[in-house]
Chains A and B, each alone.
Chain A
Amino acid sequence: MTHDPIDIGAPSTTAVPEAVLEIVDLEMHYSVGGGVLGKRSVVRAVDGVSLTLRRGETGALVGESGSGKSTVGKCIIRLVEPTSGRVSFLGRDTTHLSRHALRPLRRDMHVVFQDPYLSLNPRMTIGQIVAGPLVHNGLLRRGDRRAQVGELLDRVGLRPELQDRYPHSLSGGQRQRVAIARALSCRPALLVADEPISALDASVQASTLNLLLELQAEMGFACLFITHDLSAAEFMADWIAVMYLGRIVEIGSREQIFGQPRHPYTQALLSAVPYPDPVIQRTRRAIVIVGDPPSPIDPPSGCRFHTRCPIAIDRCSEVEPELVDPADAGHLARCHLVGPQGEPPVVPVGQPRQHAWGDRT
C-alpha cells in the first residue's frame, strides 16, 4: 500500500484503539543541585498524573509555570523518560522503550512547540524541515519531494515556493504553520501542542487555531493542548486538566471546568484572566489569591495549594486530598472542601474595580 500523507482519511495506523494515549500515575522527578558543598534535592515536576485521551479528542493541560504541564508532554513524546508510572500510546507501553524501539511509533506522535523561532533548524530550508518526518518514515515519494512538500505547505496556508527559504525569512505565524505542516506530514494519531499560540499576536493566534481545527476535522488526530491560556483551552478542548505543582487538581469536561469549577485554584485562575471587555472586566468580582507558587523542590504539606488558598482549613495543611469524583460525573477535584455532591466551595471575592471612566465621556 502506498502511503499518501496528503490524502484525507483515517490516521495512518489502522485499528486505532479507542484510547490513543493513556497515562497512569506518571511521575517525573529531576535531581538538582549537588556539587562539592551543595545537597542534591529532587524536583517533583510531575507527581502522579493520570489521564486518557481518546481518538480524535482534544484534551488540555492547563497550569502556570512550574505546574509540570510541559513535563507531562515531554514524557508522552519521550523527550524524557519518566521516573515511574506508565504511558501507553496506541495500546503499547512506551514508558521505557528504547530510542530504537520507539522509532516506528514516532510517525504517529508529533509535537508543536511554543517558539517557532527556536524549534525550527535555522540552517535547513523550509522544504527540508517539512520533509523531515516523511524522510525518516520512508514516506517520501521518489523524486517528488517538491510536489509533496508543496502540497503540505499549501494545506497549512503557505505558498509552496516558500520551501526554498530559510526560517529566518518567515514571520512568527508562518513559522508556526511550518511547524504544524511538519508535525502533521505523516498524519499522526496524536499531536502534542505545547503552548502553540502563546508567542503569536492575537490575529495570528486566531488563524493558527482555525488551521488546527480544520486539520483536526480533516485528519482526525487526537490533540493534547498544553497551555497557560485558559481561553485557548476553553476554545479548543473537550476536557481540561488543571495542574498545580506537579499534580492534577481538577479535571473535567469543558462545561464542567468553565461552568462550575470546583477547586479554589481553578476558580482563582479563571477569575484572574482579564476579560477582554472593559465593562465586564471592571464590574467583575475577582478572587484574589496572594503570594507566588511555592517551589516544586519542596512542595507544601497536605494540599499543595493550601499556602495560597483563601479558604484553607487546618486539615488542608495536614492531609493531602485525593482526586475524587463525588457525583460520579467525570468531574474530579482534589480538595477537602468540595461538597458531597460535588458542590464547589465558595471562595470569597474582592470588590469590583468599578473604575472611574465616566469622567471622560
Chain B
Amino acid sequence: MSPVLDVRDVSVRIRVPSGHHVQAVDRVSFSVEPGETLAIVGESGCGKTMLAMAVLGLLPSGGEITNGEVLLDGEDLRTATPSRLRDIRGRTIGAVFQEPMAALDPVLTIGRQIAEVIQRHEGLSKDAARGRALELMSLVGIPDPASRIDQYPHQFSGGMAQRVVIAMAIACRPRVLLADEPTTALDVTIQAAVLRVIDSLKHQLDMAVVLITHDLGVVADVADRVMVMYAGRVVEEADVLDTFAAPQHQYTRGLMGAIRHPTRTPPRSRLTEIPGMVPTLLAPAQACAFAPRCPLADDRCRAELPLLGPIRDHHAVACFHPGVPA
C-alpha cells in the first residue's frame, strides 16, 4: 500500500525572541498508510509538536521549514498556497490538539461549529450540514446529540468537548488524522473512551492516524508503528511490538526502563533514570545528540552523526551501538 502522508527530510528552524535560531526538527522522514496508526513519541522539546505543526502548515511565527518536503497524496504542501492549505486542513487532514476548549469557539453552538466545517469544505446546505453534524456527534459517542447540538462549549466536559473536536476533524472524512496529545488533558476513564473513538474511526474511515504522545501506555494501546524522537531527530522507528520488546537505541531503552509497570515494578524500588538533560539544538546535529547521556557513547558517537538505518524488517535505529549493552 502506498503512504498517504509522506514526510521527507524535513527540518524546522525557529527564531526565538532572543534572536538566535533553534533547530526544532532536524531532517525527519516518516510516512503513514491508510488504516495505520503511527505514534510519534518523545519528551518535551524533542520537536514532535513542531513536526506536526510543520505538516499542518501551522508553524508559529518565526518558525519555518528549511528543508525537505511534506507530500500528501503526492502533493507537496510546502509549495501549496495558503488558501489551498486551508482547504487541505479540515478536508484531507484533520487535526486534534491537547486542549479541546482552545479549539472551540465559546460563542458558537457546537452544532454551528461542526456544520461550518462541512459547509465550508463540502458546500452542503445549512440543513444538510446540521444533519451531518448530528450523525457525527453520535459517531464520536456524544449521548443525546439532538439536545446537545444547540449547546455551547462551556456546557461540555473536557472529554465531550474533545469528542466534538474529533467530530470536526473527521467531518469531511479526512485521509489523515493528526492528533497531538489528544487525551493528555483528560481523565483516565475518559481517555480510554476517546482512544476507542479514534481507533474505531480509523477502521471505519480507513484513515491514517498520526498520534503524538509522551505516554507509552497510550502508545501500547493504539499504535501500529512507533517513531521515537530525541533532540529534533528520529532515533528509532519500529512496529509497536518490537519497540516495547526489543528497543535498540539507548534513549528508547532508557525511556522504557523509566516507566512504572503496574503490579510488576516493585513498590518504592529505585527506578531507572536517564542522567543529564535534553539538549536544545541550535544547528543541525553533527554528532549523536544523545551521546552526552549515553552509557555506550564513544569518540565516534561524539564526532559523527548516526543515520537512521534498518537493523531488521520494520525496525530502524540511528545508533552506532544499538541493542543491549555488553
CA distance A286 to B193 in the complex (A): 11
Q: Is A209 on the interface with B (CB-CB < 8 A)?
A: yes
Contact yes or no, B273 A206, CB < 8 A: yes
Contact yes or no, B260 A357, CB < 8 A: no
Q: Is B220 on the interface with A (CB-CB < 8 A)?
A: yes
Name the interface residues of B112-164: CB closer than 8 Å to any CB of A.
143, 157-160
Q: A64-B187, A269-B188, A360-B239 are in contact. Are A209 and B271 (CB under 8 A)?
A: yes
| Max chain A Cβ within 10 angstroms of own Cβ: one of B191, B195, B218, B222 | B222
Q: A272-B188, A360-B224 are in contact. Are A235 and B265 (CB under 8 A)?
A: yes
**Complex interface: chain A residues within 8 A of B314 (CB):** 360-361
Closest chain B residue to A63, Cβ basis: B187
Contact yes or no, B217 A276, CB < 8 A: yes
Q: Is A166 on the interface with B (CB-CB < 8 A)?
A: no
Q: Is B320 on the interface with A (CB-CB < 8 A)?
A: no
Contact yes or no, A206 B271, CB < 8 A: yes
> Which of B9-17, B20-28, B251-259 participates in binding chain A?
B251-259
Contact yes or no, B274 A203, CB < 8 A: yes
Closest chain B residue to A279, Cβ basis: B241
Q: Is B43 on the interface with A (CB-CB < 8 A)?
A: yes
Contact yes or no, B260 A273, CB < 8 A: no
Q: Is B84 on the interface with A (CB-CB < 8 A)?
A: no
Name the interface residues of B214-264: CB closer than 8 Å to any CB of A.
214-225, 239-242, 244-245, 254-255, 258-263
Q: A201-B214, A291-B143, A361-B313 are in contact. Are A278 and B189 (CB under 8 A)?
A: no
CA distance A217 to B157 in the complex (A): 41
Closest chain B residue to A205, Cβ basis: B258
**Complex interface: chain B residues within 8 A of A361 (CB):** 239, 241-242, 313-314
Q: Return the CB mask of A281-303 against B: 1 if under 8 Å, else 0.
A: 11000101111110000000000
Contact yes or no, A277 B261, CB < 8 A: yes
CA distance A231 to B261 in the complex (A): 7
CA distance A203 to B191 in the complex (A): 22
Interface of A is mostly: helix
Q: Is A234 on the interface with B (CB-CB < 8 A)?
A: yes
Q: A64-B188, A64-B189, A360-B314 are in contact. Are A206 and B258 (CB under 8 A)?
A: yes
Q: A201-B43, A281-B220, A357-B224 are in contact. Are A234 and B241 (CB under 8 A)?
A: no
CA distance A353 to B195 in the complex (A): 12
Interface footprint category on A: 35 or more
B222 vs chain A, min Cβ distance (A) = 8
Contact of A274 among B160, B218, B273 (CB under 8 A): B218
Q: Return the CB mask of B167-210 against A: 1 if under 8 Å, else 0.
A: 00000000000000000000111111101000000000000000
Contact yes or no, B220 A275, CB < 8 A: yes
B224 vs chain A, min Cβ distance (A) = 6
CA distance A23 to B157 in the complex (A): 31
Contact yes or no, A275 B262, CB < 8 A: yes
**Complex interface: chain B residues within 8 A of A273 (CB):** 188, 217, 262
**Complex interface: chain B residues within 8 A of A278 (CB):** 219-221, 223, 240-241, 244
CA distance A207 to B188 in the complex (A): 23
CA distance A232 to B259 in the complex (A): 10
**Complex interface: chain B residues within 8 A of A231 (CB):** 260-262, 265
Q: Is B19 on the interface with A (CB-CB < 8 A)?
A: no
Q: A203-B273, A258-B262, A361-B239 are in contact. Are A274 and B268 (CB under 8 A)?
A: no
Q: Return the CB mask of A9-27 against B: 1 if under 8 Å, else 0.
A: 0000000000000000000
Contact yes or no, A65 B187, CB < 8 A: yes
Q: Is A6 on the interface with B (CB-CB < 8 A)?
A: no
Q: Is B267 on the interface with A (CB-CB < 8 A)?
A: yes
| Max chain B Cβ within 10 angstroms of own Cβ: one of A64, A174, A281, A289 | A281
Contact yes or no, B188 A292, CB < 8 A: no
**Complex interface: chain B residues within 8 A of A105 (CB):** none
Contact yes or no, A289 B189, CB < 8 A: yes
**Complex interface: chain B residues within 8 A of A280 (CB):** 220
A86 vs chain B, min Cβ distance (A) = 30
Contact yes or no, A203 B258, CB < 8 A: yes
Closest chain A residue to B36, Cβ basis: A360
Contact yes or no, A202 B258, CB < 8 A: yes
- Could you write out 28 A-B pairs with CB less than 8 Å apart? A172-B44, A201-B44, A203-B258, A203-B273, A207-B271, A207-B273, A228-B187, A230-B262, A234-B263, A235-B260, A254-B267, A268-B189, A269-B188, A274-B191, A274-B215, A274-B217, A275-B220, A276-B219, A276-B244, A278-B220, A278-B221, A278-B241, A281-B220, A282-B220, A288-B192, A288-B193, A290-B193, A292-B190
- The chain B residues found within 8 Å of chain A, CB to CB, are 43-44, 143, 157-160, 187-193, 195, 214-225, 239-242, 244-245, 254-255, 258-263, 265, 267-268, 270-274, 277-278, 313-314
> Which 3 pairs of residues, A with B, have the shortest CB-CB distance?
A274-B217, A201-B43, A206-B271
Extra A-B contacts (10), CB below 8 Å, given A355-B224, A360-B314? A172-B44, A206-B259, A210-B271, A234-B263, A235-B268, A272-B189, A272-B191, A274-B195, A357-B224, A357-B239
